[in-house]
Structure 1
Amino acid sequence: MSKTALRNFTPQVPMRLRTLLGDHPGTAALKNGSIKSDSVTLDFADYSPTYKGFKPMVREQAFDVAEMAIVTYLMAKSFGKPMVLLPSVVMARFQHAFALYNAKSGTLMPADLNNKRIGIRSFTTTTGAWLRGILANDHGVDLDSIDWVTFEDAHVAEFRDTTVRAPPGKQIVQMLVEGELDAVLGEKLEHPDLKPLFPDVAREEKSWFAKHQVMPINHMVVVSEALSTSHPDVVQEVFRLLQQSAARAPAASPRFSVEEMRRSLEMIIRYTAQQGLIPRELAVDELFGDLTPTLR
């Protein structure tokens, strides 16, 4: 570079992006700074637990890059919220362990849930949608017969929640222990009175996977529509960083091929539509923006 060019040279300033990203094996390298970019700086917001940041993202577009529960995204998409999904999974797990009942009231099996009173943090949680789909489609439970008791509203403000709200000050596990609920979804903890709704969770998970060949996706990553439209190169760099970080996760962490991701998304879309959380089944390709085919 000549002396004149050197005098006129302005170093590239990385674009700073407001970012919501939880602590997961596949995000650790990105969050601890061992993976960096010359063109992008991720300014991580402090939300604990991470799902508390989903509402401001959906309602106010508070972040440029955000982890997002997949059911929240499906609902946001159905209401035209300006977000674009990236094919990047940051959290996935089997769901069967996250259903409990109070054994002091007698043994309860999935097939016994009709006409029961069941608690869940919010009716629109992704774990709840997965579990309701499993109960309805694999165990014949009539979801409409159940009295659903919730403790929080939906992240998407436009959703009309018809569940019964728990009395102020009540906690979900407290209500289960005190016999005010027959079962709860979305909770997993050790308590002498509480038992898993699926008595042999490991066997149930193995059997379910053999049948469906699906690993349930919980959280993926979205970017704002404005960022995707105005700075596709930045979105490509964000995706590269996410992929590079995920590659450093322990081998046991879930990894998804394109086809595995599609199967999981197809199933949660079907479950979400069955449960009235979205007005129709979306095609998987509708979830992603025009930029997706260029991401590597």
Structure 2
Amino acid sequence: MRLRTLLGDHPCTAALKDGSIKSNRVTFDFAEVSPTHKGFKPMVREQAFDVSEMAIVTYLMARSFGKPMVLLPIAVMARFQHAYALTHAKSPALTPAELNNKRVGIRSFTTTTGAWLRGILADDYGVDLNSIDWVTFEDAHVAEFHDATARAPQHKQIIQMLLDGELDAVLGEKSERPGLQPLFADAAADEKSWFAKHGVMPINHMVVVSETLSAAHPDVVREVFSLLRQSAVAAQTAAPQFSAAEMRRSLAMIVRYTAQQGLIPREFAVDELFDDLTRTFC
């Protein structure tokens, strides 16, 4: 069976994409989409792929609107988030706890990195997220979601707005440009202490399959999952490997953050994120 497939270039997908791991049961027709997140919208809105990488927050939102996708319990991208926030390089430096009532930019309010960072700011730094004047640059992948944030003018760029003083901070970005500095002054130390406190590696992207494929061809979905696992194992230490318990902790936390931020109407149980087939893979 030939499967329309969207997977980014990650250590854990390399063996699949270069053909060193293959199957006589399925063939992946890889779509050329760069950056990969540009393919999430057509997957959510048009079911453009049979197998697709998917930002976990986009999946949670899509699930809340009944989109016909099924989650596989495998992460293709996970990372600590503290380094993906910027502010001005001026004295005194703006600290995370001082973001209340500030003007903060983010590519889209519904990005997974944004959801993780907002959760961290609220839970660990006491930031009132509702006090912040959020400025966004793109709409949500899920068309049905009502985004009430202020939209930046079309000709504006997020980093330049920060440099020009039109924003106090931005989330989801890294930059070495003069005049900017990390919002978390020692991100590596903050990440280490955050992990010690929570025991969670934040998941950004997982993999989904179409609901039709899961219902009609469970053997194919089992093969897809097996191939993804083999490719992840081939990456060895180049990519984080999750135990079932670690994945559940990460999923439970991002579900809680996503619900608290109003991106989904309620907090799903982790088992609800899978169907009867893919739940057996956990």
TM range, smaller chain: over 0.9
User: Counterparts in 2 of 1:189-200, with a 5 A limit?
Assistant: 189-200=175-186
Counterpart residue number, 1:220: 206
Question: Residues of 2 paired with 1:187 and 1:283: CA distance?
Answer: 30
Q: How does 1:9-158 map to 2 (within 5 A)?
A: 15-104=1-90, 106-158=92-144
Number of positions where the alignment pairs a residue of Structure 1 with one of Structure 2: 282
User: Match of 1:209?
Assistant: 195
Deviations 1:16-44 (A, max 9, x none): 00000000000000001111100100000
* Inter-partner Cα distance in structure 2 for 1:234 and 1:282: 27
CA contact 1:128–1:185 (8 Å) conserved in 2: yes
Give unmatched runs, 5+ long, in structure 2.
none
Distance 1:41 1:295 in 2: 21
Task: Provide the TM-score with structure 2 as the length reference.
Answer: 0.98
Using the TM superposition, give the Cα deviation of residue 278 of structure 1 relative to its aligned residue in structure 2, in angstroms: 0.2
CA offset at residue 189 of structure 1?
1.6
Aligned pairs for 1:194-273 (under 5 A) are 194-273=180-259
CA contact (8 A) 1:105 1:179 kept: no
Deviation at 1:246, TM superposition (A): 0.2
Where do residues 157-168 of structure 1 align in structure 2 (5 Å cutoff)? 157-168=143-154
Q: C-alpha offsets along residues 134-191 of structure 1, whole Å, 9 cap, x if unaligned?
A: 0000000000000000000000000000000001110100101111100000001211
Aligned-residue CA RMSD (Å): 1.0
Aligned-pair identity in percent equals 78
Alpha-carbon distance between aligned partners in 2 of 1:207 and 1:287, rounded to the nearest angstrom: 29
Question: Structure 1, unaligned stretches of length 5 or more?
Answer: 1-14
Local SS of the residue matching 1:210: helix
Determine if contact 2:203/2:250 at 8 Å carries over to the other structure: yes
CA apart distance, 1:251: 1.1
Structure 1 residue aligned with 2:267: 281
Q: Secondary structure at the match of 1:96?
A: coil
Equivalent pair of 2:135/2:152 in contact (CA under 8 Å): yes
- 8 Å CA contact retained: 2:53, 2:207: yes
- Contact 1:67/1:219 (8 A) holds in 2: yes
For 1:11, the equivalent position in structure 2 comes to none
Distance 1:28 1:252, change over 3 A: closer
Change (3 A) 1:200 1:286: same
Query: Normalised by the size of structure 1, how large is the TM-score?
Result: 0.94
1:186 aligns with 2:177: no
Tell me which moved more, 210-219 or 168-177.
Answer: 168-177
Q: Give the greater-gyration-radius structure (CA).
A: 1
Deviations 1:249-293 (A, max 9, x none): 141421100000000000000000000000000000000011024
Native 8 Å contact 2:85 2:182 kept in 1: yes
Equivalent residue of 2:193, what SS? helix
